[in-house]
């Protein structure tokens, strides 16, 4: 079998050949958040069969996009992680994520949402123009654990911190919310004051900064911008 099926001497055709198969980009998406075991990927990628997942991982490893590593005791398990070549895909992933947001709503019946994917969205939609100066900690529950992310605004735009070594001890505002509530806030589908009053989110610290949160991101789902839509497109 030929190395490439597209008989085209084209860089885009090569890229489509490598990452265009079903599940491949989603595997890369999940590995941008850190190393994962085979069982972790199966749990997040609802609907993928073990054989297909194994095949995709083998292809990605053969192409040099991911690597396998054995963790030491007490974990003593094999994890998959992005290689340098795999991490080089992240700028393209960010642009595809921003483009795909136009078709995000409304949610389709039976669709799965992983809280960790909210972190991918935060990094993709961070505003690069000057933003209000503030430091906000977002706590996103995920079963028995909670993802902690800090977003900081300033003259150079929004910075998203998610690595434990980068997190600061003190922030101006701390917010706990589910991924769908975060989407509603960033897309302007629900105002911060409404979310707080309804109990959909919990916040401590300088509550006036809650109104600044949507301004730290450029999140456009179907051209909504920062203007609330009529009705509730999240349901």
204 within 8 A of 233, measured Cβ to Cβ = no
**How many CB atoms lie under 10 A from the CB of residue 4?**
13
The reply to whether domains 11-88 and 117-216 share a CATH topology is no
The dotted CATH code for 11-88 is: 1.10.10.10
What kind of fold does domain 117-216 have according to CATH? Nonspecific Lipid-transfer Protein; Chain A (3.30.1050)
pLDDT in tens, the chain (235 residues): 457 788 899 999 999 999 999 999 999 999 999 999 999 999 999 999 999 999 999 999 999 999 999 987 777 789 999 999 999 999 999 999 999 999 998 889 999 999 999 999 999 999 999 999 999 999 999 988 999 999 999 999 999 998 877 788 889 999 999 999 999 999 888 999 999 999 999 999 999 999 999 999 998 876 544 333 444 556 5
Query: Phi and psi dihedrals of 46, rounded to 5?
Result: -55, 130
Domains in the chain: boundaries: 11-88, 117-216
Task: Indicate the helix (H) or strand (E) that contains 96.
Answer: helix 90-100
Q: Which of 55, 52, 60 is nearest to 87 (CA)?
A: 60
Burial 140-169 (b: 16+ CB within 10 A, else e): beeeeeebbbbbbbeeeebbbbbeeeeeee
pTM: 0.88
């Amino acid at each position: 079998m030929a190395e490439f099926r597209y008989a085209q001497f084209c860089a885009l055709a090569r890229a489509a050949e490598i990452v265009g198969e079903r599940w491949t980009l989603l595997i890369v998406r999940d590995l941008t958040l850190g190393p994962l075991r085979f069982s972790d990927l199966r749990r997040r990628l609802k609907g993928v069969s073990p054989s297909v997942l194994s095949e995709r991982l083998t292809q990605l490893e053969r192409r040099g996009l991911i690597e396998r590593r054995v963790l030491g005791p007490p974990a003593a398990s094999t994890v998959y992680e992005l290689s340098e070549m795999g991490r080089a895909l992240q700028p393209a992933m960010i642009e595809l994520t921003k483009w795909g947001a136009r078709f995000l709503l409304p949610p389709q019946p039976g669709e799965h949402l992983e809280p960790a994917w909210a972190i991918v969205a935060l990094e993709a939609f961070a505003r690069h123009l000057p933003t209000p100066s503030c430091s906000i900690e977002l706590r996103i529950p995920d079963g028995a654990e909670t993802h902690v992310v800090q977003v900081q605004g300033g003259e150079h735009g929004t910075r998203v911190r998610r690595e434990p070594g980068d997190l600061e001890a003190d922030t101006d505002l701390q917010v706990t919310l589910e991924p769908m509530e975060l989407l509603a806030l960033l897309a302007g589908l629900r105002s911060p004051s409404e979310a707080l009053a309804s109990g959909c989110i919990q916040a401590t610290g300088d509550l006036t900064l809650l109104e600044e949160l949507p301004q730290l991101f450029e999140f456009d789902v179907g051209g909504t911008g920062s203007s609330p839509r009529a009705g509730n497109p999240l349901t």
